Copies of this chain bind each other. A is one copy, B any other.
């Protein structure tokens, strides 16, 4: 053998991640984006959208548990859930671990992502067979615009980066419409980029959320497959949730109650930037 397959993702024009590929399991150009699923030795199966790492077997548990469980265990009655994006199914899987959840609407613009995940990422997508799931292949922006009355306790924005198709999910208008779909006491959580090299993007989204919500709290989690290996999330609500009201489900690989508290502790350089 004198050949090798490698994947490279540029996290900026100047740095990035590379990993070896052993197999390309799936490739399709959908109406919205290029979808690839590859197999690799360290990261396991990896879902790429437009060539960017969305989820990997090595660390998907961190991302999905951390997007979902903080809001789930802080909200007093998380019965009605909306997920925007999340076509791989990982976020829905975590949401559905709670018996309190009666209905989880998953609004994914690209049906092909769901199909590919059903076939190649069953660890993530089995959640789609739960009767509480309502799959909608719609633009999240349109969905929150059309949803006139408050009906969700939690809205998770599990989108790709604010470049390409997901840019609109980082707009003031989207946030306002999203807020209108939340019941009293509702919470929204956005995934929100690397604090080391994209702190401006976090700051921008933080400020926009602040215009609509009384409390916006960033939190952090380590995700090796994402730029710089550390990711941020923004937790926004009009209620100042601090004390957990429920236990997290058994069998989680990352999240626990010490982690809940710890993940909201911010390094000085992030605090300073956000309070600017």
Q: Which residues of A contact B (CB under 8 A)?
A: 8, 12-20, 40-43, 58-59, 61-62, 194, 196-197, 220, 222-224, 228-230, 252-256, 258-259, 261-269, 271
16 pairs, CB–CB < 8 Å, chain A vs chain B: A12-B42, A13-B20, A14-B42, A15-B20, A42-B197, A58-B197, A59-B196, A196-B222, A224-B229, A230-B230, A252-B268, A253-B267, A253-B268, A254-B268, A256-B265, A256-B271
Nearest chain B CB to A146's CB is how many angstroms away?
A: 39
5 A-B pairs besides A58-B197, A228-B229 with CB distance below 8 A are A14-B42, A15-B20, A16-B19, A230-B230, A262-B262
Q: What are the 7 closest A-B residue pairs judged by CB atoms, nearest first?
A: A229-B229, A262-B265, A262-B262, A224-B228, A15-B19, A258-B265, A222-B230
Given contact pairs A15-B18, A255-B267, A262-B263, A230 touches B220 in the complex (Cβ within 8 A): no
Task: List, in ascending order, chain B residues with CB within 8 A of A222's CB.
Answer: 196, 220, 222, 228-230
Task: List, in ascending order, chain B residues with CB within 8 A of A17's CB.
Answer: 15-18
**A58–B194 Cα gap in the complex (Å)?**
13
A220, A228, A256: residue with the most chain B Cβ atoms closer than 10 Å: A228
Chain B residue with the shortest CB-CB distance to A58:
B196
Chain B residue with the shortest CB-CB distance to A252:
B268
**A197–B229 Cα gap in the complex (Å)?**
13
Given contact pairs A256-B267, A268-B253, A18 touches B20 in the complex (Cβ within 8 A): no
Nearest chain B CB to A38's CB is how many angstroms away?
A: 12
Task: List, in ascending order, chain B residues with CB within 8 A of A267's CB.
Answer: 62, 253-256, 259
